Amino acid sequence: MSQPAAHIRAFFDEPTNTVSYLVWDPATKRGAVIDPVLDWDNRSGTADVAFADRILAAADEEAVAIDWVLETHAHADHLTAAPYIKARTGAPIGIGEHIRQVQAIFRPMFQAEDLKPGGGDFDRLFADGERFALGSLEVEVIHTPGHTPACIAYRIGEDVFVGDTLFMHDYGTARADFPGGDARTLFRSMKRLLALPPDTRLWMCHDYKAPGRDSYAWQSTVAEQRAHNPHVKDGVTEEEFVAFRTARDATLAAPLLLLPAIQVNIRAGRFPPAESNGVRYLLVPVTTRKADTLA
């Protein structure tokens, strides 16, 4: 890990407990935005870009040019502002190549016939182990399936953007019960990240304040995770984790923004095409536990 450290600024979106990042190469001032959040008022169906504008303003302040918009996965808890960042900067949108699998799962559920074939709504699909340049820095892609089949982490020297593959070391781990998710696979992906050198800095995509902690936090280390994470610290076996995670997930409600988030995020942040009246709609697939109660 001989390259100089990336510079990083974090942006916390409290309504969705999400952290977006601006990361850049200090030598060339070339940067990336990771997991940008779109402001979404679910009551009125109104999108806004005030949060994304804060990231762009920070890039201006730092005199950083944005070369990439990077997603760690198709999020289920917020809508992505990736298309807005792309429109403002020209930066291509990248995500893990297994997004195709996620699209295949949700395309029929949301009648998303407008999805382009082969993951073509995204500009770049990253494979495990792939490397690409961020200025003079090298970014390595680490496929970390489990929370979703397409999750990836981005490693830049000793900094790793882990998405939802880990939460803070005093909190735990993300659910693994979304379609295509798998607790055993998640455990193995976490172990892969935790095999990195102990001082490696891990940057979370979410924080919910662990019990006893009164402020948000989003940066941890491999050593801290291995010593303290109650779900995955050294000594917790794969079987123990799978049993715990499966039982816990069975108790969790769907995320508040699950339905809008998934149908927008599998389209790389595009909203569905407008209907004949010129209005775009998001769908709510209806399920019922007692079919005969529906007229």
Instruction: By CB under 5 A, tell whether 207 contacts Fe ion.
Output: no
Distance of closest approach, residue 180 Cβ to Fe ion, in angstroms = 12
Residue 75 C-beta: closest distance to Fe ion, Å: 5
* Least CB distance to Fe ion at residue 254 (A): 13
What whole-number distance in Å separates Cα of residue 12 and Cα of residue 124?
26
Show contacts with Fe ion in window 165-194 (CB under 5 A). Answer: none
Angle at 83 between CA 264 and CA 156, to 5 degrees: 105
For Fe ion, the closer of residues 85 and 204 by Cβ is 204
**Which among 114-122, 127-135, 156-164, 254-262 is the span making contact with Fe ion, rule CB under 5 A?**
156-164
Given the rule CB under 5 A, which of 4-12, 131-139, 158-166, 193-201 is the region that contacts Fe ion? 158-166
Q: Which lies closer to Fe ion via its Cβ, residue 25 or residue 164?
A: 164
Selected range binding Fe ion among 35-43, 71-79, 131-139, 258-266, rule: CB under 5 A: 71-79
Residue 42, C-beta contacts closer than 8 angstroms, at least 6 positions apart: 256, 257, 260
**Could you tell me if 203 and 12 are in contact, meaning their C-beta atoms sit under 8 angstroms apart?**
no
Considering beta carbons, is residue 75 or 231 the nearer one to Fe ion? 75
Q: Smallest gap, in angstroms, from Cβ of residue 167 to Fe ion? A: 10
- Other beta carbons less than 10 A from residue 249's beta carbon: 15
Query: For Fe ion, which is the closer residue by CB, 5 or 258?
Result: 258
Q: Which residue has the tokens 């302040």?
A: 61
Shortest CB 256 distance to Fe ion, Å = 13
Query: At CA 134, angle to CA 38 and CA 205, rounded to 5?
Result: 35
User: Cα–Cα distance between 22 and 26 in angstroms, integer?
Assistant: 12
Supply 259's token pair. Answer: 């339905």
Residue 25 engages Fe ion in binding (rule: CB under 5 A): no
* Residue 56 vs 202, nearer CB to Fe ion: 202
Nearest alpha-carbon partner for 74 in 139, 150, 146, 14 = 150
Q: CB of 255: closest distance to Fe ion in angstroms?
A: 8
CA-to-CA distance for 75 and 257, rounded, in angstroms? 10
Distance, in Å, from the CA atom of 37 to the CA atom of 85, rounded to the nearest integer, reads 10
Task: Select from 14-22, 127-135, 163-171, 244-252 the region that touches Fe ion (CB under 5 A).
Answer: 163-171
Residues in 73-102 at the binding interface with Fe ion, rule: CB under 5 A: 75
Compare residues 164 and 207 and give the one whose CB is closer to Fe ion.
Answer: 164
Under rule CB under 5 A, residue 164 binds Fe ion? yes
Q: How far is the CB of 81 from Fe ion (least distance, A)?
A: 16
Give me the residue whose beta carbon is nearest to Fe ion. 164
Shortest separation between residue 286's beta carbon and Fe ion, angstroms: 24
Residues in touch with Fe ion (CB under 5 A): 75, 164
